[in-house]
Structures are given as structure tokens and as C-alpha cells.
A and B are shown apart, each in its own frame.
Chain A
Amino acid sequence: MTLLAPPEIDLSDDFDAASVIDASFAAGDDAALRAAYDQYGSLVYSICRRSVDEASAADITQEVFLAAWRHRDRYHPDRGSLAPWLTGIARNKVIDHFRAVGREDRRVDKVRDNSTLEPVDELNASTSRMLLVDAMEALPERARRIISLAFFDDMTHVEISAQTGIPLGTVKSDIRRSLDKLRHGLGYDHG
């Protein structure tokens, strides 16, 4: 066995702990379940809290992680982050909750009536927005700055480069990598 020249050690934020947790979860390690809860528990609970009361949100969050763990073989890290998979389960649990309490709740009528799906539509939309918030916040600082200028100020690559002084090639590559990460963060890796 031959020892070759060691590379430079780079401990930058390119080491993506969330991706490691996702893969570890799929592999079925108990420690990964706790790590996944620590990573995504607040997101799942927050999504539930927007639709139901605190106690129900806690119950649903518990159900989400139990269901995810018991059916982890259905999660494929190559198709996206664990976050959209968990929030997809949460969405279904919240709708189930609506239905369970629906006889005394007008919201369930809207859920059942395909012509008026406001609660479900809003649940879907707010979930996507919250996933995007988290995915953008997970970007490295420079990339987050660049992608924010592109998204919120409608700036072109050239304009971002001129505004920030960041080389055009770097702007382009940061945006390309950021879009990759956003797709992964929202579970759009496979279209």
C-alpha cells in the first residue's frame, strides 16, 4: 500500500451535514433518526403549527417522524432532501387531521370539496415557501447573496457581477450550484 500526496484539508461549509443525515436516515441508523429530528423537527412542527393547534401539531409531528422511520425504505436521497419527504408526510397527516375533526369544522368541507381547496392549497404553497427559505439559508453566504439578488432584484449574472465585484464566472457557477441545491432541498431532483 502506498501513501500518496495528501490534499489540502478543506473544512468549509461544502461539507453538507444535512445530506449526510439524509443518507444515514435512509440507511436506517437509529442515531440518524435523532439527527433528522434535530435537523428537521422544527420545520415539520412549524408547518403543522400553521394549520393546527399546538397539541395537534406535536401529535402530527410525532406521527410524521414515526411514519418516516417505519417507511424509511421509501425515502431515496437521490430524489431530494429528507425535508420535502418529511413535509410531504406532514401535509398528508394535516389533511387527515382536517378530515378527522371535519364534521365540526368548516375546513374539512373545503378539503372534501375539490372546487374549494383553499386550506390544502395554502398548506402546499406555504410548505414550498418554507422549504425554499430553509434551502436558501443553507446556501453558503456568497451564494445566498448572489441568488437573492437574482431572485428578489431580478438582476442578471452580469449585473450581479458588476454590483458585487464578484467575477462573472463565479456568479454563474454559484447560481448553477445554488439551483442544484434548491432543487434538492425541495425534492425536485428528478423533475
Chain B
Amino acid sequence: MTMADQEILEWASLAKTITDDDRQRFEPPGDLWSRIATEIGDTTTNGLDDDAIDNLLIGRADAEVVDLTQARTHRAKRGVRHQRRNLAAVAAAAALVFVIGLTLTGGESDTVYIAQATTADMPEPWTGEVTATVNASDGEVTLVSTNEFSSDEPVELWLIKPDLSDMHSLGLVELDGRETTVALPAGIDVTEFSIVDLSIEPDDGVPTHSGRSFVRGALEAL
């Protein structure tokens, strides 16, 4: 019997003891979140109803930055060894601060958004600033980095919903301290997909997000 077989047996042993009670879930009282928020002095979400909170999280001017910097997704072709290597990189990395600026132009009015994000899973020591300018009318996203980000693995640009329910890849880019322009996919509302994310993507043919983000910022109107 292999170790994997043995592990399956152990999990199966636990799974077979699951009862209907174990599957039952109770919803907490409706006021419980507001009690928690009050206790921590959360003035951004305390007392708001769910719709208001949803609005808060999808990129309004006063929205809190959703820091997703250590995000990990389960990649279809990534094995345990690969995951452990990533985790080692996370553990070894120092917390660094980046700034992403996002300028939204076009539409009824021109609005400028700036966001700041911190990250703790920087795979390579790199301090820099990236400015992303979205020109909605031209359907283009322009990235300008203050200095080069050197990596043996590709870097991918993403737009993510703050509630984490959806994301779009804008393709692979190179940060070499100069400017590049990326096409904004048709139908993407940047006020909805308001988190800008740059991630390191292993060249393994897996198209989903690696979780190895090194720069991320949310929108904040100037």
C-alpha cells in the first residue's frame, strides 16, 4: 500500500463518520457582524447593510483596499512540490510596499484613481512603482514601471473584482521600466474589476492565476 493509499484510508475513515448533524449549518444572528465591527471600531463597514458593504467593496472612492497579496489559487497542474517551493518563497520574502496608480478616462467624466497595496510574498527583492492608466474609450491599459522587474518566469496582468468572485487576465507583460500598452478586453468594466494585479506565472501551461502576486492595488478616486 502506498502512502497515498494509506492517506485515502485515513480520510475515508473520518468521512464515514460524518453525520447529518455535521452537514447542518446555522446562520449567525443578523446583528452579529455589526457587534464584531463595533468592537473593533470598524467605521468603514459597521452599521452598513449588505448592499452598502457590497458597494463599498466594489471600488467606490472610499473603498478599503482589499489586499490580496498572498493569494493562492489551486492550479490544475501544480503539485505539492511546486506549492512548497512557492510557500518557501512566501516565507522568505520581506514585506514591501508598492504603489499602483490607475487613471480612468472616458465616459461621462474623467476620474483618476490611485491605490496603495502592501505585499508579503515578493518572490524577488524589488521596490518599484507601477502606474496603470485605463483609457476606456480606446480600450487600452497602459503600464509604466519606475524600474525593471526581473524574473525568469512570465508576469501576468489581471483585473479582479474586490469581492473575489471573478477575474480577467489582460495578458503577459514585461516590466522593464518603460511603457507598455495592453488591450482592455471588451465588456470589462474597470469600476467593477477594480483591483489591478501583477503576478508571476510559471510557464506550465496553466492559465489560471498562480497566486504569486507581487503588486496589487485597488482604486481610490483622487
Contacts and interface: CB of A to CB of B under 8 A. Distances in A.
A180 interface: yes
B211 A29 contact: no
Given A7-B207, A151-B11, A176-B79, A181 B74 contact: yes
A9 B145 contact: no
A23 B34 CA distance: 23
5 interchain residue pairs of minimum CB distance: A6-B171, A1-B180, A23-B70, A4-B172, A151-B15
A7 B21 contact: no
The A contact surface, by secondary structure, is helix
B32 A61 contact: yes
A177 B171 CA distance: 26
26 contacts: A1-B145, A2-B173, A3-B171, A4-B171, A14-B73, A16-B73, A20-B68, A23-B68, A23-B211, A24-B69, A28-B67, A30-B44, A30-B45, A31-B57, A31-B162, A42-B25, A54-B29, A61-B28, A61-B32, A65-B36, A77-B72, A78-B90, A132-B18, A151-B11, A176-B4, A179-B7
Contacts of A150: 8, 12
Interface of A: 1-12, 14-17, 19-21, 23-24, 26-35, 37, 41-43, 45-46, 49-50, 54, 57-58, 61-62, 65-66, 69-70, 77-78, 125-126, 128-130, 132-133, 136, 150-152, 154, 175-177, 179-182
A1 B175 contact: yes
B131 interface: no
Contacts of B71: 19-20, 23-24
A122 B22 CA distance: 12
Given A35-B163, A46-B24, 16 more contacts: A1-B175, A10-B207, A16-B73, A23-B72, A24-B66, A24-B71, A28-B67, A31-B66, A37-B33, A41-B33, A58-B29, A61-B28, A130-B22, A151-B15, A179-B11, A180-B74
A3 B180 CA distance: 7
Interface string B189-222: 0000000000001000001110100000000000
B5 to A, nearest CB: 9
Contacts of A34: 33, 37, 45, 53
Place the interface of chain B in its size category: 35 or more
Nearest to A154: B12
B208 A3 contact: no
Contact of B154 (A4, A11, A126, A175): A4
Contacts of A128: 14
Contacts of A78: 87, 90-91
Which of A7, A26, A136, A182 has its CB near the most chain B CB atoms (within 10 A)? A7
